[in-house]
Structure 1
Amino acid sequence: MAGRADHEERRRQIAEALLRIADAEGLQAASMRAVAAEAGVSLRLVQYYFATKEGLLLDALARLGAQLQARMDRWIGAAGSASSPPSPRGIVTAILSCILPTDPESRRITRTYAAYYTLVLNSPTALESHGTLQPDRLEGFLTKQLRAAQRSGEIDLAKDAGMTAAGLLSMVNGLGSSVLAGQRDGAAALAVLTHHLDELFGTPAGRRSPHPA
C-alpha cells in the first residue's frame, strides 16, 4: 500500500507541475523537460510515470476537473444549512458563481482550462474525446436542477431547461474570459450573472451571498 501511495504522490507531483506551467505560461510551454524541472524531478522519472505527453495532459486535466468539482461541492454545501438542503436555485447559483474567476483559486482554474482550450483549438485531434467530458456533465447537472426548479414552480414550465443551462454556462464562460482580459472585475461579472438569474428565477426576498464562508 505504501508503494502504491508513493507512486500516486509522484504522479500527482508531476501532473500539478504541468498545471502550474499551464496557468502561468500556457501549455505550449509545458514540455516534458519543463514539467520535470518544475516538479523538481528528472526527465526520466516523468517519462517513467507518463510514457506520452498526451497521457500526462489527460491525467492533469482529470486532476483539474477534480479541483473544480471540490470547489463546486464546497459552494453547494454553503448554499444550504444543516437543517435545510440547498434549493435548485441555490445549487445553480452556487455552481455558476464558483466558476467565475473571482478569487485566486477560481482564476487559476479558469486560466488553466483556457490553456487546455487553446491546445485543442491549435491541435484539433488533441484531447478531442476528453475535453468536453466535464462541461457536458456540468451542463447535464444544471439541466436537472432547472427541471427541478420548474417542478417546484420557481421557473416557467415553458422554458427549455437544456437550452437555458447551455446558455447560462456559455454566459459564465464568456464572463470569465472578460474578467481575465480585464474588461470587468469579478464583482461586476457576478452582478451580470445575478441579473440573469433574477430574470430566470425572480428576485429573492432576502438575498444570500453565494460565496462560502
Structure 2
Amino acid sequence: MPKRVDHDLRRRQIGEALLRIASTRGLQAASMREVATEAGVSLRLVQYYFHTKQELLLGALAYLGEQLSARVEAHIRALGMPPTPRSLVYGTLTAILPTDAESRRLTRTYAAYYALVLAEPALAADHGATYPDLLERFLAGHLRTAQRSGQVDPDLDAPTTAAGLLALTNGLGSSVLGGQRDGDAALAILTYHLDRLFGGSPGGSAAGPAPEAS
C-alpha cells in the first residue's frame, strides 16, 4: 500500500523551517528554495503546499502564534502562582521577554516579521496583527477582572493599558536583542511597572525573577 501522507504535519514542517530561517537570518532573503533546503524537502513540495511566498509567510506566522501561546502557557504553569489576574498578566508578559533561549528565538522571529512588514505592508494587512490583537484582548480581560475585584484602579482604561503593557514588553525585548540591557534588567523594569499597576493589591506579588519554562 502507498504510504499515507499527513498533510498537516508536512505543512507544519515547511512552515517551521521558515521560522528557523527567520530567527537566524531574517526573512527578506528567505526564498522558497531556501525553505525547501531547510525543511529537507523538494522545492516542488513547498510550492504544492504554499503556492506563493506570501502564503508561506502567513502560514508560518500562524505556527509562530501557536508556539508563543504554548510558551506562555508553559511559563505560567512553571511559575506555580495561584491563577489571579495579576499572576496571569505577569506570567504572560514575562513569557514574552527574551530571558532564555526559547523566548529569544521567538522574539527574534517576530522581529524578522516586523522588519519584513516595513518593506511589504501588505503582509500586515493580511492577518499580520491577529495574534497581537488577541493578546491585547486577553490582557485587557484580566485587567477588567482585576478592576471588578478592586485590585487595580476602577477608572483604568483596560484596553489602552493592555496595549501599553504589551508595547512596553516588546520594546524591552528589542532592547535586550539590541544589547542595550540584559534579560534580568528588562524583567526588573517590567516588574516595576506591574507593581505600580497592581501595587498593594491582593492576589500575590509579581515581584521576583520568573523561572524558565520547561
Taking structure 2 as the reference length, what is the TM-score of the superposition? Answer: 0.91
Aligned to 1:24: 24
Contact 2:187–2:209, Cα closer than 8 Å, also in 1:
no
Structure 1 vs Structure 2: percent identity of aligned residues?
62
Written as runs of structure 1 = structure 2, the 5 A alignment for 1:142-161 is: 142-161=139-158
Contact 1:23–1:111, Cα closer than 8 Å, also in 2:
yes
Aligned to 2:178: 181
- Residues 150 and 17 (structure 1), Cα distance of their counterparts in 2 relative to 1, 3 Å cut: same
**1:183 counterpart letter in structure 2:** Q
Contact 2:191–2:207, Cα closer than 8 Å, also in 1:
no
Correspondent of 1:135 among 113, 132, 136: 132
Correspondent of 1:103 among 100, 103, 117: 100
Moved more, 153-162 or 134-143: 153-162
Correspondent of 2:198 among 198, 201, 206: 201
1:84-104 deviations in Å (ceiling 9; x for gaps): x51000000000000000011
CA–CA distance in structure 2, aligned partners of residues 209 and 180 of structure 1: 19
Aligned to 1:89: 86
Deviation at 1:210, TM superposition (A): 3.4
Aligned to 1:15: 15
Which protein has greater RCO, CA pairs closer than 8 Å, 6+ apart? 2
Aligned to 2:163: 166
1:78-127 deviations in Å (ceiling 9; x for gaps): 3456xxx5100000000000000001100110110111111111111124
1:1-49 deviations in Å (ceiling 9; x for gaps): x8352x2222122111111111111001210011111112111111112
Contact 2:86–2:206, Cα closer than 8 Å, also in 1:
no
Runs of 4+ aligned residues of structure 1 deviating over 6 Å after TM superposition are none
Aligned to 2:187: 190
Aligned to 2:122: 125
Q: Please state whether the residue corresponding to 2:126 is helix, strand or coil.
A: coil
Contact 2:195–2:206, Cα closer than 8 Å, also in 1:
no
Contact 1:93–1:210, Cα closer than 8 Å, also in 2:
no
Contact 1:58–1:127, Cα closer than 8 Å, also in 2:
no
**2:86 counterpart letter in structure 1:** R
CA–CA distance in structure 1, aligned partners of residues 11 and 170 of structure 2: 30
Contact 1:102–1:186, Cα closer than 8 Å, also in 2:
yes
- Residues 46 and 194 (structure 1), Cα distance of their counterparts in 2 relative to 1, 3 Å cut: same
CA–CA distance in structure 2, aligned partners of residues 40 and 28 of structure 1: 21
CA–CA distance in structure 1, aligned partners of residues 209 and 107 of structure 2: 21
Taking structure 1 as the reference length, what is the TM-score of the superposition? Answer: 0.91
**1:131 counterpart letter in structure 2:** G
1:143-181 deviations in Å (ceiling 9; x for gaps): 010011111111011211111111101100100000000
Runs (5+) with no aligned partner, structure 2: none
Runs (5+) with no aligned partner, structure 1: none
